[in-house]
Structures are given as structure tokens and as C-alpha cells.
Structure 1
Amino acid sequence: MSGFSVRRVSRGAWIAGLAGLAAVAAALATGLAAMDRASPTVAAAAAPPPAVLPLAWPDVQPEPPPQLTARLEALAAAWGEPVGVAVADVDQGWITSVDGDTPYPQQSVSKLWVAVAALDAVDRGELSLEQEVVFEDADRSVFFQPIVKQLSAGGYRTTVRELMLRALAQSDNAANDKLIRTVGGVETVDETLRRLNLEGVGIGAEERDLQAQIAGLSWRPEYGYGRAFQQARAALPDWARDQAMDAYLAQPLDGASPAAIAKALVALKRGEVLSPGATGVLLAMMAEANTGPNRLKGGLPLGWSIAHKTGTGQDLRGYSIGINDVGLLTAPDGRTYAVAVMMRRTHKPVPQRLAFMQAVSRAVAESWAAEAGPAAELASLRKPGELSE
């Protein structure tokens, strides 16, 4: 992207685009509901990838709404723990942040970049969404991996599309790790992101290797069964776990800054990274995410929509790491904001974490309402739901 200029979308064009995306999302929703029976059948449009352009933002950018900046700063100050927040306007081109340039642990947010690399390979004809992939016993990962329930003696025959959907919508670690290997490995994914000029984001490692390192272990195949990983982790002395955790938090292998993530989401939404078809598939899968319903999504008024990816790290002695939610928040008039909220290490209980994220998305919605005027009447406050991650 040479510069980051204003590009308004007409209401008619927005409605047409939304209708197309809704069709993709509907098909993906059907596939998600029947995921353990069959993968969805939506095809990416056959279109060449966009030309790779520099994603440097101009030195002089539009000023963000001062009330929004002040509100985010107040929320972060009151939080009292390290937290990074970034909000960018897709059309107007401004960005505002709190500790926005500091790398934070991404955890499962990094699954988004694996999907980008896979869809880039599809755009280039190196992969097909319907390409068959055999998931085998050796592909087990750690923690949440529902795909292993499908394993039989001959493995589980799946597709690139289903692996991606499982990784994005369910945050399935084993599906994500298999997708990484299908694309060509961790280095290939990170090299693809650099080639696409998505600066400041990457994955660093497969989930199973990353989580083992964080715990102070080295990955072993037997850790993929039952609670073997948790048992091995629990057997470590406290000093070993503390040392491993501190080293990870000081320099997270999967680290990315909130501002870098927000800018990458803007580029994705503007169609400057993938082909139109691939972009539509990615955003529709993000819209189908069933993780973190009460994080950013929980603070949005009625009439808003969100396409997002959450991240949730390990717990240790009363604190949690890498509690994140990043995504694209779209107002009733089609105006879209890229938002990233990232918690490095938090001792606060789940309801407070959720309340903070909801306060951020609510602040974005209120900022839009202040500018939208009469259009804001289309939105009314969402009734708070049950607080659960």
C-alpha cells in the first residue's frame, strides 16, 4: 500500500459486497455446523493475487478521534497491568494505540497468519482449498484439538479448507499445525508474510513446539495423547517453569505488536494482500469464529458485526498469558475498524478481562456513533451475556 489514503465505499457497493460475503459466510456456517461430518464447499474465486505493494503508512496520517484515544488511554491506565490496544479505521486511514508498538504474545491469534499464507499459496496455484490432506496419528498437537476425534486406522482424510476452518473457527491446534506443514513449514509461513509486506507479524513455531517451550519442555509425540502434556508439565520443578515462562514473555517467539496486527487487518480488509475470492473466504471464516463470544464481540451494539481471532495462553500460579482478541468490527453503515487487544500477563479474573475487551469495542462503537449522527440510531446496546471465555 503506497500511502494510506481515504477510500470511501458507497452504500450500494457496501451492500452488494456484504451480500456476497454473507453468502460465503452462510455456506461456511453450514460447514461448521456439520464439521465432523463433512467440510464446507465454498470455493474461492479464481482471481490472480493482488500486486505486492509496500504497506508503509504515510508519515502524516489523519488524526484519530481524540475522545477515542483518551478513552483507550484511560481504560489501559485503570487496568493496571501490561496491555496493548490498537484501533485503525479501514477507510479513513487513522490509527490510535496504547503500547501499540510493543510485541505481545499472540498465542492462537497467529493462526490467522497461517491462513493468510495458505490462501496466498491458493492464489498462486501452489495449493487448492479442496486439496486432500491425510491427518495422521503423528499430527497430534496439544490442548484443544478436536480433529483427533476423527482419526481412524488409516488416518483422517480432510482438505486444506477444512483444516483452515477448524483452525480459525474452532482454534484447533492440531489442524493448524497440519496446515503449517501443508503450506511448507514455519519458515515458509513467515517468509510469505514478509513477501506480502505484513511487517511485524509472524508465527515463530508450530503450536505444539511453542506450548512445550513455554512450559519448559521439548515436544514429544506422546504428549499428543490425553493429558500426557499436562502431566509432564506438572512434573517440572517450579523454577524450570518460571524460567521458561519468563523467557517467553521477555521475547515471545510468536510476538506481534497490536499496531502491526491492526495494520495487517486493514490491508487484508482493503484487499491488498490476497485475491478477492481468498479475502472473502478468510473474512467469512473469521466471522464464524466460535471462540471468545464475550470478548470484543460482547461489547458491540446490535447492528454491528465482527470477524475475529482470539488467543488464549497457558496459566501458571494464578495468572494467564496471551489473552487476546483481534478483528474487524463493522458498523451498521459499513464503516470498519481493525481492533487488537492483547494482554501479556494478567492476574485478573475472567469477568474483568472480558469487561475490559468489551469496554474497548464499546468505545469504538461510541466513537462511530458520535460521528455517524442519525445513522447511529440503527444500533442499540447489546444486552450483556454470560461472561465466559
Structure 2
Amino acid sequence: MQTAPPARPSAPVRPQPPAQLLNAVQALGAGFAGDVGIAVRDIDEGWSVAWAGDTPRPQQSVSKLWVAIAVMDAIDRGRMSLTDPVTVRRSDLTVFHQPIRALVGPDGYRTTVGDLLRGAMTRSDNTCNDVLLWRVGGPEAIRRMLAAKRIAGVTFGPGERELQARTAGLTWRPEWAGGWGFLQARAAMTHAARARALDRYLAAPIDGASANGVTLGLSLLAQGKLLSARSTASLLALMRSSRTGPLRLKSGLRPGWTLAHKTGTGQDLGALSTGYNDVGLLVAPNGHRYAVAVMIASTRVAIGTRMRLMGNVTRAIVAAAD
């Protein structure tokens, strides 16, 4: 008597994204007048949807997230503490948004690692971030961390000062610390020279990351695979307290939903805007979690239109979860 061969175990059924959300993300990406990447990753079920989600785009201040993770990782390993004292010198000042600049006198400004982290993550202070970057080991330390923690699709640039100088087609000079010298040098350039430099940057951003790579990193963070439970909670609390971009992803929230996020904003040249981003961890009232990234590499549309796109991505996630 023949016996039937043993049944093969069936492959696990992979959760599928809601068709409503997939269609919405595709429509939002296709309908936007600019180079945009959109990614949504369901952290609890594992599915993801994206529009042009694998193309590297400028991160700008989104990259502060990776510095913060490296700092918290160093704290977890006992190499650093949030209470460690730090003196910020005038020579540490960077460019563009740096609220701490007003506090840095001739003898510097005495603060702590924790306060610098809060400034970088809630106010996107460039100097706070750069001081932490070099304290944790510089750009190479961040790149090693990204590789070690398998955050694929994310690279890290040379630090704020060199990044902004190279984006404008300049080479950073130490005497530009504080930003005015840089702004004057950039203003002295021809439009054509700046346009060539910006085109080079957009073609191969030295701080590039894909939307899918960013949502992977956010998912690993939310799952507790990057940091200790305490450090994860502390970092996400800072991200929920962010004061930047209140009308970007946040504009699509409904009551009971929360967003822990990090924005990024690059340089403009005439009507062209670059590196206009918002990424974060979206949590439903029932605790269900989504990683989301909207990364606009370049566009000429008005700020309100960019914000509306981001809010609409959040609204699409909320609607699909109902």
C-alpha cells in the first residue's frame, strides 16, 4: 500500500498593504511636480508601500536622526552620558539654523550632551548636531554605526559645514564659523556656478538616503533593535517634541494619533528648493505603528503645496487604518 508523501509546510502568508493606501501613495507621488520619494512601512505587520522609494535623495537635517542614534548608542555602551559637560566655542558654530549661536560668548557656552541632543532633535540646531557628531567620532563613526546596525539605503555626509559649502560649490573655511562668511561667499557666486554645484549635489547627494532606507531605520528603532529600551523611549520622546515642520506630516494627524519625526530643509536657488523632507514614526490610537518618509529632492512648487503633500500622506495612512 502506497503512502502519500508528507505534506510540504505551506509558506507563511505575507501581510499585504491596503490597496487603498497603495493607490493613494502612487497617486500622490505621480501627481507631485518635483522629484519625490515616499515610503510607508507597517512596523507591526511588515508590509511596505512606496513611490520611487529606492532612489537616494538629499537628507539634509534628517541626518540628525542618525547622529542622535549614535549618541544614544554610545550612552548605552557607557562611553558617554547625557550629563557630560560640553563647552561650545565660537569656532564650533556652523551655518543656517543654529539658535545656540546667541548663547556662545567669547568664553564659549557651557552645556551638556543632553541639552545639545535636545537642541538638535527638537529645534534642528546645526551647531548642536555638529558638536555631537564630532564628539561621537565624526562622520566615519556614523557610517560604521549604519553598517553595523544594517540600516541599508542610508549614507552619511561630511558634517553640516562641509555639506552646505559643497552643495553651494564652495570649500569650507574655518573663518566662516557662524555662517556670515559663508553666506557672503555664496552671494558672490554667479547664478550659473551655483546652479552647476546644486545640479551635481542633486545627481549624487553626499548625504543621500532612500525613503525606503529611512523607514527601515525608523522601524528598527521602534522595534528596539538599535538602542536599549530606555534610550529608544528617550529619543522618540524628543522626536515627538520637535518644534520644526508643524505643517508637514503632522498636518494630517487625527485626534489620538502621534508623530515622532525629524524634518530636513536644504538650500534654495531662485524658485528651486532642495532637500525638503519629513520622516517619522506614526502611531495610531490603538498603538499600531507606521514608519513614514516623504523626501522631496527638488521642486519649484510653493511651500504650501509641499506641506500639503506630506499631510496627505499622513491622511492616507490614517484613512487606510480606519
**TM-score, normalising length: structure 1:** 0.78
Matched positions, count = 312
Where does 1:257-268 land on structure 2 (aligned, <5 Å)?
257-268=210-221
For 1:359, the aligned partner's letter is N
Where does 1:25-36 land on structure 2 (aligned, <5 Å)?
none
Please give the secondary structure, in 2, of the residue aligned with 1:82: strand
Match of 1:142? 95
Deviations 1:259-278 (A, max 9, x none): 01111101100101100011
Question: Equivalents in 2 of 1:199, 1:164: separation in Å?
Answer: 24
Q: Is the 8 A contact 1:140 1:221 kept in 2?
A: no
Deviations 1:52-100 (A, max 9, x none): xxxxxx9984211111001110111111321100001111111110101
Question: Equivalents in 1 of 2:15, 2:27: separation in Å?
Answer: 22
For 1:193, the aligned partner's letter is L
Deviations 1:168-208 (A, max 9, x none): 10000011010001001111111112111112223211111
Question: Equivalents in 1 of 2:95, 2:121: separation in Å?
Answer: 16
Match of 1:179? 132
For 1:252, the aligned partner's letter is P
Larger strand proportion, structure 1 or 2?
A: 2
Question: Equivalents in 2 of 1:139, 1:349: separation in Å?
Answer: 34
Match of 2:224? 271
Q: Which one of the candidate residues 234, 239, 242 is aligned to 1:289?
A: 242
Is 2:26 the counterpart of 1:69?
no
Q: Is the 8 A contact 2:62 2:277 kept in 1?
A: yes
Question: Equivalents in 1 of 2:53, 2:103: separation in Å?
Answer: 41
Q: Which one of the candidate residues 80, 85, 110 is aligned to 1:127?
A: 80
Q: Offset at 1:154? A: 2.0
Q: Is the 8 A contact 1:311 1:325 kept in 2?
A: yes
Q: Is the 8 A contact 2:58 2:208 kept in 1?
A: yes
Q: Is the 8 A contact 2:121 2:238 kept in 1?
A: yes
Match of 2:151? 198
Q: Offset at 1:239? A: 2.4
Deviations 1:30-54 (A, max 9, x none): xxxxxxxxxxxxxxxxxxxxxxxxx
Question: Equivalents in 1 of 2:171, 2:285: separation in Å?
Answer: 48
Where does 1:84-95 land on structure 2 (aligned, <5 Å)?
84-95=37-48
Q: Offset at 1:317? A: 1.8
Question: Equivalents in 1 of 2:106, 2:13: separation in Å?
Answer: 60
For 1:65, the aligned partner's letter is P
Please give the secondary structure, in 1, of the residue aligned with 2:46: coil
Gap change, CA 1:253 and 1:60, over 3 Å in 2? farther
Match of 1:168? 121
For 1:277, the aligned partner's letter is R
Is 2:161 the counterpart of 1:231?
no
Q: Which one of the candidate residues 193, 201, 205 is aligned to 1:240?
A: 193
Match of 1:103? 56
Is 2:313 the counterpart of 1:363?
no
Q: Is the 8 A contact 1:101 1:257 kept in 2?
A: yes
Is 2:272 the counterpart of 1:335?
no
**TM-score, normalising length: structure 2:** 0.94
For 2:281, the aligned partner's letter is L
For 1:66, the aligned partner's letter is A
Gap change, CA 1:221 and 1:356, over 3 Å in 2? same
Please give the secondary structure, in 2, of the residue aligned with 1:138: helix
Question: Equivalents in 2 of 1:91, 1:227: separation in Å?
Answer: 47
Q: Is the 8 A contact 1:76 1:98 kept in 2?
A: yes
Match of 1:83? 36
Match of 1:315? 268
Higher mean Cα deviation, 341-350 or 216-225? 216-225
Higher mean Cα deviation, 219-228 or 208-217? 219-228
Please give the secondary structure, in 2, of the residue aligned with 1:205: coil
Match of 2:8? none
Gap change, CA 1:73 and 1:169, over 3 Å in 2? same
Q: CA RMSD in A?
A: 1.5
Match of 2:162? 209
Structure 1: any 5+ residue segments left out of the alignment? 1-57, 370-389
Q: Is the 8 A contact 1:114 1:203 kept in 2?
A: no
Question: Equivalents in 1 of 2:127, 2:29: separation in Å?
Answer: 34
Question: Equivalents in 2 of 1:141, 1:258: separation in Å?
Answer: 27
Please give the secondary structure, in 2, of the residue aligned with 1:328: strand
Please give the secondary structure, in 2, of the residue aligned with 1:248: helix
Please give the secondary structure, in 2, of the residue aligned with 1:68: helix
Q: Offset at 1:302? A: 1.5
Please give the secondary structure, in 1, of the residue aligned with 2:209: coil
Q: Which one of the candidate residues 344, 349, 363 is aligned to 2:302?
A: 349
Q: Is the 8 A contact 1:113 1:202 kept in 2?
A: no
Question: Equivalents in 2 of 1:67, 1:280: separation in Å?
Answer: 31
Question: Equivalents in 2 of 1:80, 1:127: separation in Å?
Answer: 45
